[in-house]
Amino acid sequence: MRHLVFGLVMALLLSSSSALASQSSTMAFVTDSASNALLPINLTSVQPSVPISVGAAPFGVAVLPDGSRVYVSNRGFSTRLNSTVSVIAVADGSVKTTITVGRMPMGVAADSQGRYVYVANNLSHSLTVIATATDTVFTTVPLNNPDGTGSFSPRGVAVNPNPGMPYVYVTNRSSDDLAIVNTTDWSVERVGGIGTDPYGVAVAKDGKTVYVALEGDGKLALVDAVSHQVAKIDVGPAGLNSGPTGVAVGRDGKVYVTNTESANLWVVDPANVDPAKRSVPVYVGGKPVGVSVSPDGSHVYVANSTGASLFVLSTASNQVSTISLPGSNPIAFGIFVLGPTAIAVAIDIKPGSNQKTINLGSHGVTPVAILSTSTFSAPALVNPATVTLAGAPVQLKGDGVTAVIEERDVNGDGFVDLVVHVQTDAMVVPQGETTVVLEGKTWTGDDIRGEGTVRIVPGR
């Protein structure tokens, strides 16, 4: 396993003028329960970051979709006192405010619009709703009932990303159920029989399936978001406290589950009908807890709670590397990675040519290939009419709508690539620049982005 060691510098104060990340950076915000700190890690530049002091025993973490703030649950380990949520400003790493919530808050999640943050209070058996416009408690939803029935000991929380499904899902360890909170009227519905010791929870991109890690069963529960029917997939050995803990969903629909007992990250493909290939363990070591996928889907990050490290899985190669952390008990339970949302693609400008020169005065077109991989088929996924290179559109056919394309393997790797032709004289390249950017969209609306290095000949 390859080790990428950060020389992270401990400091007493974090300068208010120091920016944690640029718009192009990928950042991880890892809670460290032992040092009562949030560890910001710049995953793009591999630069040292300063730990941020938060509350006692920080556990859950959620980053707002716009990347402006991070919300950290501080468990506190006290049954008498309310615990808190720390709100961190990403721009400068300052603690913006501290919000009192229920006892022992664990899971934290933000909705897709960034309007509300939801906090599962383990010892209060409730869900706190924070309005992000004011960073104050909007309401608290009881999950148990005065008669002793209902949901108890909530841990994980996730929000349905489908605008037509206004639901928040909460896992409950003591009652072995999934509470479904309707955000239109704050009513609560419960799904029982999902399995023993439900822990982490995540929702599919289309909102149709809720995934729950069953710590006591060694399984991942797949809950139909409409019918509430439950199916299960093995993600570890069966038995008490067998380990499945954190859950995250990738852009391609794969589900990633940490198992603290077997030291594995399970890669689950719900669409695969072959049981042997539907769930595959990847050994990472230690006791992995939190798991999060980068917004562009290229990497999966796993917090090793006993190894003071962050595991990094490449979704393209399935290779694992390790980043050392300054804390001794990293948890990062929740969505803790912030970064560019565009899918990164490799491109080849003027494929087959050793002369990567573009004459901006030319009235012709410049061919550019969007390269395919084992996990990304450019001809099948990319809408060629949306592609631009340095701001220039692609050449269209006589109908003015359909792009002129080729489908061929330009680099001899066995994967068919997509070649488009860009109008050369429409490119906008600043003087002295040698890097040009390709942008576009997939047929499902996801952004793509790639960069290429060229020699520019200015137009006349």
Which residue type does 98 have?
Answer: T
Q: Domain end: 294, 324, 340, which one?
A: 340
Categorize the per-residue pLDDT at 229 as very low, low, confident or very high, splitting at 50, 70 and 90. very high
In the chain, % of residues over pLDDT 70: 91
Rounded to whole angstroms, the Cα distance separating 33 from 342 reads 32
User: Into how many domains does the chain fold?
Assistant: 2
Q: What is the pTM of this model?
A: 0.82
Q: Domain end: 340, 363, 391, which one?
A: 340
pLDDT number for residue 316: 82
The torsion angle over the Cα atoms of residues 255, 256, 257 and 258, rounded to 10 degrees, is 180
Instruction: Write the secondary structure of 396-457 as one string of H (helix), E (strand) and C (coil).
Output: ECCCCCCECEEEECCCCCCCCEEEEEEEHHHCCCCCCCCEEEEEEEECCCCEEEEEEECEEE
Rounded to whole angstroms, the Cα distance separating 168 from 143 reads 12
Categorize the per-residue pLDDT at 292 as very low, low, confident or very high, splitting at 50, 70 and 90. very high
Are 57 and 36 contacting, i.e. CB atoms less than 8 angstroms apart?
yes
* Together in a domain, 348 and 336: no
Query: Which pLDDT tens digit goes with each residue over 249-284?
Result: 998 899 999 999 989 999 999 998 888 889 999 999
**Looking at residue 415, which CATH number applies to its domain?**
2.60.40.10
* Together in a domain, 268 and 323: yes
The residue among 108, 97, 103, 150 whose CA lies nearest residue 122 is 103
304 has pLDDT over 90: yes
239 has pLDDT over 90: no
* Together in a domain, 193 and 260: yes
Are 76 and 98 contacting, i.e. CB atoms less than 8 angstroms apart?
no
* Together in a domain, 212 and 225: yes
Q: Which of 13-27, 342-356, 368-382 is predicted least confidently?
A: 13-27
Query: Which pLDDT tens digit goes with each residue over 19-40?
Result: 555 556 889 999 999 999 999 9
Q: Which of 131-135, 270-274, 453-457 is predicted least confidently?
A: 453-457
Categorize the per-residue pLDDT at 4 as very low, low, confident or very high, splitting at 50, 70 and 90. very low
Categorize the per-residue pLDDT at 359 as very low, low, confident or very high, splitting at 50, 70 and 90. confident
Categorize the per-residue pLDDT at 341 as very low, low, confident or very high, splitting at 50, 70 and 90. confident
Query: Which pLDDT tens digit goes with each residue over 427-442?
Result: 888 766 688 999 999 9
240 has pLDDT over 60: no
Full residue range of the structural domain in which residue 384 is found:
344-457
pLDDT number for residue 434: 82
* Together in a domain, 262 and 379: no
Q: Domain end: 318, 340, 362, which one?
A: 340
* Together in a domain, 306 and 327: yes
**Looking at residue 315, which CATH number applies to its domain?**
2.130.10.10
pLDDT number for residue 358: 84
Query: Which pLDDT tens digit goes with each residue over 149-176?
Result: 999 999 999 999 999 999 999 999 999 9
Categorize the per-residue pLDDT at 355 as very low, low, confident or very high, splitting at 50, 70 and 90. confident
* Together in a domain, 356 and 315: no
pLDDT number for residue 44: 81
The residue among 420, 456, 427 whose CA lies nearest residue 363 is 427
What tokens appear for 30 in the block? 């890892």
- Furthest C-alpha separation in the chain: 82
* Together in a domain, 160 and 270: yes
Across 105-127, average pLDDT: 97
73 has pLDDT over 90: yes
More confident residue, 325 or 179: 179
* Together in a domain, 187 and 332: yes
pLDDT number for residue 48: 52
* Together in a domain, 167 and 248: yes
pLDDT number for residue 363: 81
* Together in a domain, 393 and 420: yes
* Together in a domain, 148 and 265: yes
241 has pLDDT over 80: no
pLDDT number for residue 80: 57
Average pLDDT, the chain: 89
13 has pLDDT over 80: no
